[in-house]
Structure 1
Amino acid sequence: MTTRPEAGCVTDPLKRVLGAQVRDLRLARRLSQEGLAEELGVSTRYLAGIERGERNLTLDSVDALAEQLEVEAQSLIVRR
């Protein structure tokens, strides 16, 4: 019998990378969390959770973030 890994353990590093990339790109573009959240149609609290690596995002959400930050979606999940 195999055991399942704890929920989220595999994606946690990816969520942290994505969150850091979103934060860095947002700041580089001089966008506030409030402004970016409004453009995305999400709450500031939700966006803050993304930036802290606490949220699981759909591919559509990653694509929307990339569009607003004017980058390719894959660049959000690649470590720099």
Structure 2
Amino acid sequence: MLLLAELVSARRETIVHLENGRYNPSLKLAMDIAKVFHVTVEDLFEFVDEEP
């Protein structure tokens, strides 16, 4: 978690909130995380169609 935060120039707390689903990343942060893991941005997210 700390290493990922350092690699993407984010705060550790930001990464914790992402992992716990309490924060949606900016496009830049999502792209940076995808680069670290060698995946696409789309691979990082799961689309859930929420009914109102």
Match of 1:62 among 27, 30, 33: 30
> TM-score if structure 1 supplies the norm length?
0.53
State the partner residue of 2:12.
44
Name the SS of the counterpart of 2:39 in structure 1: coil
Q: What is the number of equivalent residue pairs in this alignment?
A: 47
Q: Which runs of 5+ in 2 are unaligned?
A: 48-52
Give the % identical residues: 21
For 2:32 and 2:25, locate their aligned partners in 1 and report how far apart those are by CA, in whole Å.
11
2:5 aligns to what SS in structure 1? Answer: helix
- CA RMSD, 1 decimal: 1.4
Q: Which amino acid aligns with 2:15?
A: L
The ranges of structure 1 where at least 4 consecutive aligned residues each deviate by more than 4 angstroms after the TM superposition are none
> 1:60, CA displacement in angstroms?
1.4
Greater radius of gyration (CA): 1
User: More relative contact order in 1 or in 2 (CA 8 Å, sep 6+)?
Assistant: 1
Unaligned stretches of 5+ in structure 1? 1-32
1:1-33 CA distances to partner (integer Å, 9 max, x unpaired)?
xxxxxxxxxxxxxxxxxxxxxxxxxxxxxxxx0
